């Protein structure tokens, strides 16, 4: 008896004149899987291949037990038969229909009809916009309609192709929060393509990194982000420590929230009223940029900087005049970016015990 969760199995190749995509990867159909990479790395092409919009695919794609593509057996399911939803970068709404008309378009063609349109309207906060025409909506509103429409088709897998790239930060945060809520409530597996590591860090369980049409990394989101820290000279990658930690205490008067690292050490971040719902209820996704962390050789007890952790240097990696330290605190690795000057001044070496310090404001999270 196989108790493993169903998987999306991809073993495909396709080529254009100057681009080859070769992917052999199994992706668990749970939670949100991020797909990260530069432009022209093949992210969107992969989504188009899974959804059936890319016809020149060779190999196999199966979604759970359903074969979407099997070149050997001449199986090629049309997009309309795959039950795979896709939200594009540009919303692709039908502008001859109202918002409600767009949602009903999906409902009318859905064979399961397990979802109630009113529930999805509520979830995507579209109630006041139902009778609006598409060109009366802002970019963020259009993407919300596109998301709701895709969900109402009740796909077995939802693909999101950079749906936030044209939106402002506020709309991004709102949509990311919505995506998380949708994923949890509907238990809908999502593949989410983005070239923003921040966005992916906030919502994804797993991360797949693509470059030049191939998979470079795949695994747990924190682990893959930490692996990316060692990829040098990439503008899209900000070296960071990526964490999911439980909120254990809120101190409104002090303006601080307390997170607990492995039941032992405390990490403080700035207070936010929305954290109230999260106390002892799930974990908060946050990250600390390596450049926001500094190092001392003695415990900084007389500092206004609230976070200081004791750890051991695991690795020192120098690139020109910059140094990336991997510091082990308990079982958690933290990443610290310092100058070569500081490293020499403190004479840092591997296995040395040091203290990390960073301000509460350096612990970043933008959706709660």
Partner 1 sequence: MINSDLQALITTLEMAALTTIILLIIGTPLAWYLAKMTSRSKVIIEAIVALPLVLPPTVLGFYLLIAFSPEYLPGQLWQQTTGQQLAFSFSAIVIGSVLYSLPFVVQPLQKAFEQLGDSLLEAGALLNAGPIDRFFSIVLPLTKASFITAATLGFAHTVGEFGIILMIGGNIPGETRVLSIALFDHVEAFDYTRAHILSIGLLIGSLIILAAIYWLNLPKRAGTKTTLIGKAN
Restricted to residues 247-266, the positions that interact with partner 1 (CB under 8 A) are none
Rounded CA-CA distance 173/367 in Å is 6
- Show the tokens assigned to 188: 């809908």
Q: Does 69 bind partner 1 (CB under 8 A)?
A: no
Sheet holding 265-270, edge to edge: 265-270, 256-261, 240-251, 283-289, 363-364
Q: Does 86 bind partner 1 (CB under 8 A)?
A: yes
Residue 95 Cβ vs partner 1, minimum distance, rounded to whole Å = 5
Residue 325 Cβ vs partner 1, minimum distance, rounded to whole Å = 46
Residue 182 · residue 133 · CB < 8 Å:
no
Is 225 buried (19+), middle (13-18) or exposed (0-12) by CB count in 10 A? Answer: buried
Q: Does 17 bind partner 1 (CB under 8 A)?
A: no
Candidate residues 31, 37, 42, 85; the one interacting with partner 1 per rule CB under 8 A: 85
Q: How distant, in Å, are the alpha carbons of 56, 251, 329, 339, 365 from that of 239? A: 37, 29, 17, 14, 15
HSE on the CB side for 61, CA within 13 Å? Answer: 24
Q: Does 133 bind partner 1 (CB under 8 A)?
A: yes
Residue 41 Cβ vs partner 1, minimum distance, rounded to whole Å = 21
Give the three-class secondary structure for 304: coil
SS (H, E, C) 55-77: CCCEEEEEECCEEEEECCCCEEC
Of 33-41, 47-55, 251-259, 278-286, the segment contacting partner 1 by CB under 8 A is 47-55
Restricted to residues 90-109, the positions that interact with partner 1 (CB under 8 A) are 90, 92-96, 105-106, 109
The residue among 136 and 277 lying less far from partner 1, judged by its C-beta, is 136
Candidate residues 37, 52, 163, 189; the one interacting with partner 1 per rule CB under 8 A: 52
Q: Does 111 bind partner 1 (CB under 8 A)?
A: yes
The residue among 103 and 284 lying less far from partner 1, judged by its C-beta, is 103
Strand intervals (E) in 110-196: 157-161, 190-194
Candidate residues 13, 22, 25, 53; the one interacting with partner 1 per rule CB under 8 A: 53
Of 3-11, 14-22, 33-41, 75-83, the segment contacting partner 1 by CB under 8 A is 75-83
The 10 Å CB-count burial string (b at 16+, else e) for 65-100 is eeebbeeeeeeebeeeebbbbbbbbebebeeeebbb
The residue among 145 and 207 lying less far from partner 1, judged by its C-beta, is 145
The residue among 148 and 288 lying less far from partner 1, judged by its C-beta, is 148
Candidate residues 22, 75, 110, 236; the one interacting with partner 1 per rule CB under 8 A: 110
Q: Does 83 bind partner 1 (CB under 8 A)?
A: yes
Q: Does 55 bind partner 1 (CB under 8 A)?
A: no
* Pick from 288, 290, 332, 284: nearest CA to 310: 332
The 10 Å CB-count burial string (b at 16+, else e) for 31-63 is bbbbbbbeeebbbbbbbbbbbbebeebebbbbb
The residue among 113 and 318 lying less far from partner 1, judged by its C-beta, is 113
Of 81-89, 119-127, 161-169, 193-201, the segment contacting partner 1 by CB under 8 A is 81-89
Of 64-72, 148-156, 186-194, 309-317, the segment contacting partner 1 by CB under 8 A is 148-156
* Pick from 237, 188, 233: nearest CA to 209: 237
- Show the tokens assigned to 156: 């077995």
Q: Return residues touching partner 1 (CB under 8 A).
A: 51-53, 78-80, 83-86, 88, 90, 92-96, 105-106, 109-111, 133, 135, 149-150, 153
């Amino acid at each position: 008896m196989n108790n493993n969760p169903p998987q999306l199995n991809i073993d495909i190749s396709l080529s254009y004149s100057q681009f080859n995509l070769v992917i052999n990867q199994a992706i668990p159909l749970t939670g949100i899987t991020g797909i990260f990479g530069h432009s022209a790395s093949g992210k969107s092409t992969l989504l188009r291949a899974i959804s059936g919009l890319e016809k020149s695919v060779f190999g196999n794609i199966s979604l759970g037990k359903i074969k979407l593509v099997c070149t050997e057996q001449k199986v090629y399911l049309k997009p309309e038969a795959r039950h795979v939803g896709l939200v594009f970068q540009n919303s692709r709404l039908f502008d001859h229909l109202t918002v409600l008309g767009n949602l009903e378009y999906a409902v009318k063609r859905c064979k399961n009809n397990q979802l109630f349109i009113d529930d999805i309207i509520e979830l995507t906060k579209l109630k006041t916009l139902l009778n609006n025409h598409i060109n009366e909506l802002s970019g963020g509103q259009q993407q919300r309609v596109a998301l709701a429409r895709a969900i109402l088709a009740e796909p077995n897998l939802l693909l999101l192709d950079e749906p936030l790239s044209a939106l402002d930060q506020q709309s991004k945060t709102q949509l990311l929060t919505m995506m998380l809520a949708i994923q949890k409530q509907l238990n809908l597996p999502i593949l989410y393509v983005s070239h923003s590591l921040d966005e992916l860090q906030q919502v994804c369980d797993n991360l797949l990194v693509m470059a030049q049409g191939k998979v470079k990394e795949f695994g747990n989101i924190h682990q893959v982000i930490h692996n990316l820290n060692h990829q040098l000279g990439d503008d899209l990658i900000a070296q960071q420590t990526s964490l999911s930690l439980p909120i254990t205490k809120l101190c409104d008067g002090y303006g601080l929230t307390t997170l607990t690292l492995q039941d032992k050490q405390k990490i403080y971040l700035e207070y936010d009223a929305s954290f109230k719902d999260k106390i002892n209820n799930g974990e908060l996704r946050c990250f600390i940029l390596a450049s926001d962390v500094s190092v001392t050789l003695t415990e900084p007890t007389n500092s206004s900087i609230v976070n200081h952790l004791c750890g051991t240097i695991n690795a020192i990696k120098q690139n020109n005049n910059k140094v990336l330290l991997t510091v082990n605190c308990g079982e958690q690795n933290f990443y610290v970016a310092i100058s070569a000057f500081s490293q020499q001044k403190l004479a840092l070496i591997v296995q040395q015990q040091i203290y990390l310090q960073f301000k509460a404001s350096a612990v970043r999270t933008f959706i709660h």
